């Protein structure tokens, strides 16, 4: 299964990606996570990406696409993958299509996580990430009294780009650059929308129900 998750920042892509990828035994490839790992590792890629990420802008396509091409070339991605956060504009989607076609592959399905703006803002304001295992939590919805990960005991942190002002800009970037992907993939006939409101497990269930007919 070659799957893409799209939706606004805060829709729950990362949260759902961890469960869906594990259910389907495919690697979860999150461009945001790869960029953040490079930022903390102090690599050249990280230094370049950070200036864009801090503003809430997209990292330039050449850089992002080269990184995804390398990751998709690895052995574990040959029989399927779940992309979270890529593609994020129509040029990235077109290049992804061509790249996969060159390898005799194609996307099977694009799942759109649908939530309204108010919910997105609430979700981003309370988002915390584990510095050790990368698991995503929410202060209010997961009733986090401490700053420790319930899964591994690691320390939780708030992302720099989840500040209110940056969030607003990221939502604009989503509307302008990423939302057009919905029509792009609808025209390709591989888009399915999933209601991403309600408890995490219910959303996972809805996503798995949407995926099942596309499993080979
Ligand atoms: P969210 O989960 O809130 O939507 P991500 O973790 O996916 O955010 O992305 C964080 C930041 O990383 C983005 O704001 C952008 O700067 C950069 N980024 C991630 N994926 C891409 C991409 N496909 N193209 C360009 N920039 C990206
Ligand atoms: P994205 O990757 O789309 O930016 P995340 O998966 O990081 O979104 O989720 C954003 C925040 O919302 C996190 O704090 C996460 O714990 C929380 N969240 C995700 N799904 C739900 C849900 N169904 N109900 C309540 N909170 C959720």
pLDDT in tens, 133-148: 999 999 999 999 899 9
Pocket residue to mutate for ligand 1, from 9, 32, 40, most atoms within 8 A of Cβ: 32
- State the sign of the Cα–Cα–Cα–Cα dihedral 155, 164, 125, 63: negative
Per-residue confidence (pLDDT) for residue 145, from 0 to 100: 87
Phi, psi (degrees; rounded to nearest 5) at 83? -95, 125
128 noted as active-site residue: no
Distance CA 5, CA 213 (A): 17
% of residues, the chain, pLDDT over 70: 100
Per-residue confidence (pLDDT) for residue 13, from 0 to 100: 98
Q: How far is the CA of 85 from the centre of ligand 1 (A)?
A: 6
Distance CA 125, CA 113 (A): 18
* 216 pLDDT higher than 80: no
* 164 pLDDT higher than 90: no
Starting from the CA of residue 16, give the closest ligand: 2
Q: How far is the CA of 90 from the centre of ligand 2 (A)?
A: 24
Phi, psi (degrees; rounded to nearest 5) at 143? 50, 55
* 197 pLDDT higher than 80: yes
Q: How is residue 212 annotated by DSSP?
A: G
Q: How is residue 37 annotated by DSSP?
A: H
Distance CA 103, CA 127 (A): 37
> pTM of the predicted model, to two decimals?
0.95
Distance CA 80, CA 108 (A): 10
127 noted as active-site residue: yes
% of residues, the chain, pLDDT over 90: 95
Distance CA 173, CA 162 (A): 14
Distance CA 99, CA 69 (A): 8
What residue has token string 């729950």?
Answer: 12
* 1 pLDDT higher than 80: yes
């Amino acid at each position: 299964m070659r799957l893409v998750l799209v939706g606004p920042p805060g829709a729950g892509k990362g949260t759902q990606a961890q469960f869906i990828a594990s259910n389907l035994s495919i690697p979860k490839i999150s461009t945001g996570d790869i960029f953040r790992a490079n930022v903390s590792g102090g690599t050249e890629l990280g230094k370049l990406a950070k200036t864009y990420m801090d503003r809430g802008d997209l990292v330039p396509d050449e850089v992002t696409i080269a990184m995804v091409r390398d990751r998709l070339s690895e052995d574990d991605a040959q029989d399927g993958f779940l992309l979270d956060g890529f593609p994020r504009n129509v040029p990235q989607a077109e290049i992804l299509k061509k790249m996969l076609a060159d390898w005799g592959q194609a996307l099977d399905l694009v799942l759109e996580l649908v939530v309204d703006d108010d919910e997105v803002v609430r979700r981003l304001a309370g988002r915390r990430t584990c510095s050790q295992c990368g698991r995503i939590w929410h202060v209010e919805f997961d009733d986090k009294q401490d700053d420790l990960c319930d899964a591994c005991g690691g320390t939780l942190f708030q992302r720099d780009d989840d500040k209110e002002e940056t969030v607003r800009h990221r939502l604009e970037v989503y509307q302008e650059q990423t939302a057009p992907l919905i029509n792009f993939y609808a025209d390709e006939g591989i888009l399915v929308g999933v209601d991403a409101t309600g408890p995490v497990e219910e959303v996972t269930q809805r996503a798995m129900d949407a995926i099942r007919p596309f499993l080979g």
